[in-house]
Amino acid sequence: MLKNGLIAALGLALSAPAFAARLDEDKVKDDVKTAGKNAGDSMKDASDDVKDKLQTDGETKKARRHARRAARKMNREKRNAEKRARDTARDLRDDVKRDTDR
């Protein structure tokens, strides 16, 4: 029984770096996903700025475009706040883990 426990503990200790690497990959994927969405929103905002400067469309199109722009801005702020919260939680978890390992 003790032998089985030692084997299980050894297997868990050897597999821990693989789990840590996976967590880092997930963080990178989240960062890339958020950055890609933010870049897309920025391009749409730039396009809207150009349309506003040209002043070639009617008031209803302009109002709809501004409403969509406001929605994009809110989604971007929400997405970035969620990312900051996830990053803070990961940092705290890593700090606690590092402190308990000492």
pLDDT tens by residue, 15-40: 656 555 555 677 777 788 888 888 88
Q: What are the angstrom distances between the C-alpha of 101 and each of 20, 28, 94, 96, 97?
A: 15, 25, 10, 9, 6
pTM above 0.95, yes or no: no
Residue 72's closest CA among 102, 29, 37? 37
Q: What is the pLDDT at residue 72? A: 93
Q: What are the angstrom distances between the C-alpha of 29 and each of 32, 65, 72?
A: 5, 30, 21
More confident residue, 29 or 71: 71
Alpha carbon of residue 73 to chain centroid: 16
SS3 47: helix
Q: What percent of the chain has pLDDT over 70?
A: 74
